[in-house]
Amino acid sequence: MIEIQTIATGSTGNCYYVTDGVTPILIECGITFKQIQRKLNFQTTDVAACLVTHEHKDHCAGLSGVLDAGIRCYMSNGTSEAIGINHHRIKTVENKQQFVIGTWTILPFDVQHDVAEPFGFLLVNQAGDKLLFATDTYYIKYKFQGLTHLMIECNYCQSVLDVNEQTGRIHPSMRKRVMKSHFSMENVIEFLKANDLTKLQEIWLLHLSDTNSNEELIRNEVAKVTGKFIHIP
């Protein structure tokens, strides 16, 4: 059974704790390690690894502290080079090449974001649970079978973003940047429709924008399509 805890989400920092009861890991480290420790009641000695999707600070600002705590951090070579930290606990992994951490078999896959080499991750444990994690992407070109848990960015609603541009709340260039680097509610729904959700137990909708999203609308629309239990941390 998979347990998920949101430590931080959003533009100020992202970090998630995931365990199958045997191998706990972190996904992202966009806040300081001291903050992570506090959120986990200082129960971090058994954390086996940290997965980092890309080099933006809200996803890796706490990397040095995590590494110094003895936790191996996995990321693409492009992300590692962009971050620019040389450390023996940084482990680079290849697109669509599986690797193993404890009871997890993890498949990194390429996503669409305005950075060097961003990844999403598919995590499968020995009990057959299958978790998909994808953030900071405007599109996922792959389809997945038998997902039991989904952690996916739902950054903005197209209608809210359009109104914000029309009223001058955001600049047209920012609207364009958001649309080319983040997942909209509309694209999330299309992704959900295209994938096998028969075994899906829960959906975590992550990284909602403070200004360009509508939490109630997102929850209602995703529930309408999936009928699954939805968390919006």
Is pLDDT at 179 greater than 90 in this prediction? no
**pLDDT band for position 1 (cuts 50, 70, 90):** confident
Q: How far is CA 133 from the centre of its chain?
A: 5
Q: Residue 186 burial by CB count (10 A; 0-12/13-18/19+): exposed, middle or buried?
A: middle
What is the assigned CATH class of domain 3-231? alpha beta
Listed by start position, the domains of the chain span 3-231
**pLDDT band for position 178 (cuts 50, 70, 90):** confident
The pLDDT of residue 81: 97
Share of the chain above pLDDT 90, in %: 87
pLDDT in tens, 106-142: 999 999 888 889 999 999 999 999 999 999 999 999 9
Q: What is the CA radius of gyration of the chain?
A: 17
